[in-house]
Amino acid sequence: MKWFFDGGQNCIMKIIYMILPLLITTSLFTQNNPPSVVDEVDLERYAGTWYEIARLPNRFQAKCVGDVSATYSLIDNGQIEVVNRCRLESGEFTEAVGRARRAGKNEPVSKLKVRFAPRILSWLPFVWGDYWIIDLDPGYRYAVVGDPSRKYLWVLSREPEMDDATFEQILERVKEQQYDIANLIRTPHTTP
């Protein structure tokens, strides 16, 4: 282990060489085997308020304890205003306002990019996160949103509650898409 602890830049390079193959392998798997998205999305029907039924844990919602919702509004320039809202442990609500846009000219409407960074930073590619609609009820009663890395997942509904049978069917389809749902968090709602 002396080679590992010889300090300085040499040690950092060795760590990078050890981790790099794992990162490349994971990235290649994700690129070559992305989750499938729904064929068509009518953004006018998709607009409105959605309630979070469940999610995979993520750092930007770490303080949210319940009553999580997202409201989407179409904007003239083809983008979508996104207002995410949740209840904190203190009982107060917090909001994050962002923008969503189509991921690319040749990409389906079900592949969006979303950012919550200030508009002045919108030219930076890394401020835009993937927002892929991977499941959508024909009546737009529920939607499932994920990303190509399968690190993020949200089950959304037009109502704050979802019956167990529908939820279980959604989870089966999510598992088929190779999402690990072992740590899925159910979202409590106390307000309509």
**Interval 133-191: pLDDT, tens:** 999 999 999 999 999 999 999 999 999 999 999 999 999 999 999 999 999 999 999 96
When comparing pLDDT for 5 and 55, which is higher?
55
pLDDT at residue 104, rounded to an integer: 87
pLDDT at residue 117, rounded to an integer: 72
Tell me the CATH architecture of domain 43-186. Answer: Beta Barrel (2.40)
- Which of 1-5, 93-97, 102-106, 181-185 shows the lowest mean pLDDT across its residues? 1-5
The b-or-e profile of 53-80 (16+ CB within 10 A means b, else e) is bbbbeeeebeebebbbbbebeeeeeebb
pLDDT at residue 191, rounded to an integer: 61
Is the pLDDT at 2 greater than 60, yes or no? Answer: no
Other Cβ atoms within 10 Å of 152 Cβ, number: 20
Is the pLDDT at 48 greater than 90, yes or no? Answer: yes
Reported as half-sphere exposure (CB side, CA atoms, 13 A), residue 109 has a value of 13
Reported as half-sphere exposure (CB side, CA atoms, 13 A), residue 166 has a value of 16
Is the pLDDT at 12 greater than 60, yes or no? Answer: no
Q: With 0.85 as the threshold, say if the pTM is over it.
A: no
When comparing pLDDT for 84 and 4, which is higher?
84
Distances (CA, A) of 102 to 72, 108, 121: 14, 8, 18
pLDDT at residue 128, rounded to an integer: 82
Phi, psi of 86 (to 5 degrees): -155, 160
pLDDT at residue 80, rounded to an integer: 95
Is the pLDDT at 15 greater than 60, yes or no? Answer: no
pLDDT at residue 192, rounded to an integer: 56
pLDDT tens profile 99-135: 999 898 889 899 999 988 777 776 676 668 999 999 9
